[in-house]
Structures are given as structure tokens and as C-alpha cells.
Amino acid sequence: MLIQHIGHAEFLITLESGFRIVTDPYDASTGYPVRQIEADGVLVSHHHHDHDAVENVSGHPQVIDYAGLHTFAPGIQVTGIMADHDGEGGAKRGKTLLFLLEAEGLRIAHLGDLGCLLDADQLEALGRVDLVMIPVGGFFTIDPSRAAEVVEQLDPRMVIPMHYRTEYNADWPIGSVEDFAKLFDPSRIRRGGEALRVTRGDLECQPFIVIL
């Protein structure tokens, strides 16, 4: 499995079979360069402009934007789990979906615009997680300290932070990835590169946190 961070909360996940999945495609208003990407499936955590620009994904993909159990193809299963976009039960920003992708013997979680800690039902639905893509910037989502708490709740093998301030969205009221990284042992963090290749067999050899 190859995981490529396009930017913000958008990732391109390419399976060994060639099946391609895009998460939370953003539009030009985010400040990031918009890339037209071909994919077979799209995961949309919620319908805010920086997460649901499905028009930028070509190839007539299957779009999943609601909770429940879904099958993209044999051996590629996705579970959508409802969560709050804020710490006030969704009163400020509504709801977001958490996605659990199961493929190639791996369990990959993308936490959308999670705005609070996970509850018991969400933790049970997610179960054992090998790798989690988690928002860390704060304001619109959980902040770095809450993100670290969610990491502790899930106890994954690997973590990829997302949804933080960069040169492209420098005027946004969110924190940088360094605010999250400083909460962990630097020796457990790998930085650089646009993509990560991971298999079930090499999880033990991978760093704990990967900043793409």
C-alpha cells in the first residue's frame, strides 16, 4: 500500500492491485495547489469546501460520504463512523465521518475533521488500528494535545498528522505540525517525502509518526 499526502486532509491510497482511493479532496480556496487525480473511490468525511471537492477526482469513482459498512471491491472494505466536528456535540460545526479502511491485511483510519475525543462506541467501531491519519491543527478540529490523547486512545502502530498550518494556508487560525510533533520523542518521528509505502509485514520497522 502506498499512501501519498496530497495536502490538508487529502491522501491518495494506492493498493497493490492498482485500486486508488482519495480521501477528503480539497478545492482551491484552501490555498493548496489543486491536482486532478484519477481514482476508483473517494471518501468524503463531510461536506465542507476543503473536504468534498469530488469534481477534482476523475475516473468516475465510487463516493462514500455516509456512515455504515461499504465494499469498494473484494478485499477492500470501508466503515464510516459518525463523529462530532467540534467539542459541543456538533452544535458549532456539525458532524464528520471517521473512516476505517481494511485492505491488504491493514486497518487504516482517517479521522476527517474530528473535533473531540473518541467515545466508547467509536473506539469499538474502529477497533485495532494499524495506521491513523489524524487532524492536529486545532480551531476547526482537535488541537495537538487532544490529538495526542486520541493517539493514546487508539494506540496505533503508525500516525500521519494532517490538517495543520503550512505555507499554503498560513493565514488560517490553526497550528503547525510542529505543535503536535513536540509532544513525542523525536527519535520516533520521520520527516520528509510525499509518500509512504507500508505493508502488514513491515509495520514493526516503520517509525511511529510520519510527517509527509
pLDDT digits (tens, 9 = 90+) for 136-148: 999 999 999 999 9
Mean pLDDT of 40-47: 96
Contact between residue 51 and residue 26 where contact means Cβ atoms under 8 Å apart: yes
Alpha-carbon gap, residue 12 to 58, rounded angstroms? 13
The tally of domains found in the chain comes to 1
pLDDT at 91 over 70: no
The grid coordinates listed for 68 are 455504515
pLDDT at 197: 95
> What CATH number has the domain bearing residue 43?
3.60.15.10
pLDDT digits (tens, 9 = 90+) for 164-204: 999 999 999 999 999 999 999 999 999 988 899 999 999 88
Contact between residue 200 and residue 106 where contact means Cβ atoms under 8 Å apart: yes
Chain mean pLDDT for the chain = 94
Return the bridge partners of 37, or none. Answer: 57
* Three-state SS sequence of 3-16: EEEEECCEEEEECC
pLDDT at 87 over 80: no
Instruction: Tell me the backbone φ, ψ of residue 80, rounded to 5 degrees.
Output: -95, 130
Alpha-carbon gap, residue 152 to 103, rounded angstroms? 23
Q: Which DSSP symbol is given to 33?
A: P
Stretch (H or E) spanning 173? none
- Residue 108: domain span: 2-211
pLDDT digits (tens, 9 = 90+) for 101-134: 999 999 999 999 999 999 999 999 999 999 999 9
pLDDT at 107: 98
Mean pLDDT of 146-171: 97
Task: Record the pTM.
Answer: 0.95
